[in-house]
Amino acid sequence: MIEDDIEHEDFWQNIGRQLDDALLASIQKTGTAFTIFMHSLPNYNRAMVFEVIDIFKTKVLEPLMTIACEVITPVIPEQERASTLNNLMKITQAFDAVNTEHKFVKLLKEECHFQVPVLDQVNSELIPVETDGCVELIEKSKSNVYIGLERFFSTFFSIEANIEALLDNHQQIITASPEDLNDNFVKGKFWKQKTANRPGQICIPYFIFADSFEINNPLGSKAGKQALTGFYLNFPSLPRHINGTIENMFLIQFVYSAVEKSFSNEEILKTLIQEIIHLEKTPLKIRVKGEDRSVYFIFGGLRGDNLGLNSLLDYSRSFVANHPCRPQAMSREE
């Protein structure tokens, strides 16, 4: 009996040693991974994610751990009971490191997973402002919120599974159907011309498209005071069933529509255009199948709806012409 008691106590002492701060760190790492996944879902905004986390903790984790502790309490030696139960309840702290937006962003910054978007200045001007009966000239800048292509490519493809899946599907698109069947951009004449002088190089095509929307206006986008134009990126080499999903459209830049009305596309998109040209000439070092390879990112073209493309190409944004576009045979009245 004495030997059985000693083994029983050693068991709970061993459990107590394992339920230490290192275990809590592992549990919170899992909670952080779940929180990041929730933020990646397009149907959940940030407030909803933190609300779901709070509900999961209070309605699921805490009740389950309370029941578990009540069940095992009678079999834990009295001298080990308090420390063991306290350590078990640490499981309910899985989301404590990321249960607010401030904590979540702080953690991402500490682990170098978050970078503050850059303000890309388009123009600055002196604005007269009256303060205390005096008029002062204050410099006011107009800027875009720029995330950038190189930053995105380097981060996204630092995960080897992403680049390998994209390249594998790219090759599959080329070989899966007859050569004369142009069923994808990468089999078209334009892409072949773009890559004709790049034999043996890894080239990944991408599209950029624009779409305008207005924030803080539940009544619609008529006023346009807080309208934004978002510039997004996607890859034609992705499988078709995921190519058009929201989670595979990546934000590159925000532009205030008020700035678009005052400046030309050359001024607004100057940094983006420079980076497109730079990445076609200068490859990024990306690890592919355990080996560092030079990867070129080639601009495939612009996409968008009528308003988006008309804005990007400096066409009229109005749709009151007799014919909406040149090939259109039916007039506006018809």
Which has more pLDDT, 256 or 52? 52
For the segment 272-295, what is each residue's pLDDT rounded down to a tens digit? Answer: 889 999 999 999 999 988 889 999
What's the pLDDT at 173? 85
For the segment 303-316, what is each residue's pLDDT rounded down to a tens digit? Answer: 776 666 666 666 66
For the segment 257-269, what is each residue's pLDDT rounded down to a tens digit? Answer: 777 777 777 778 8
What's the pLDDT at 320? 60
What's the pLDDT at 2? 43
Mean pLDDT of 52-77: 88
What's the pLDDT at 48? 92
pLDDT at 144 over 60: yes
pLDDT at 18 over 80: no
Instruction: Please give the model's pTM, rounded to 2 decimal places.
Output: 0.69
pLDDT at 25 over 60: yes
3-state SS of the chain is CHHHHHHHHHHHHHHHHHCCHHHHHHHHHHHHHHHHHHHHCCCCCHHHHHHHHHHHHHHHHHHHHHHHHHHHHHHCCHHHHHHHHHHHHHHHHCCCCCCCHHHHHHHHHHCCCCCCCEEEEEEEEEEEEEECCEEEEEEEEEEEEECCHHHHHHHHCCCHHHHHHHHHHHHHHHHHCCCCCCCCHHHCHHHHHHCCCCCCCEEEEEEEEEEEEECCCCCCCCCCCCEEEEEEEECCCCCHHHHCCHHHCEEEEEEEHHHHHHCCHHHHCHHHHHHHHHHHHCCEEEEECCEEEEEEEEEEEEEECHHHHHHHCCCCCCCCCCCCCCCCCCCCCC
pLDDT at 15 over 80: no
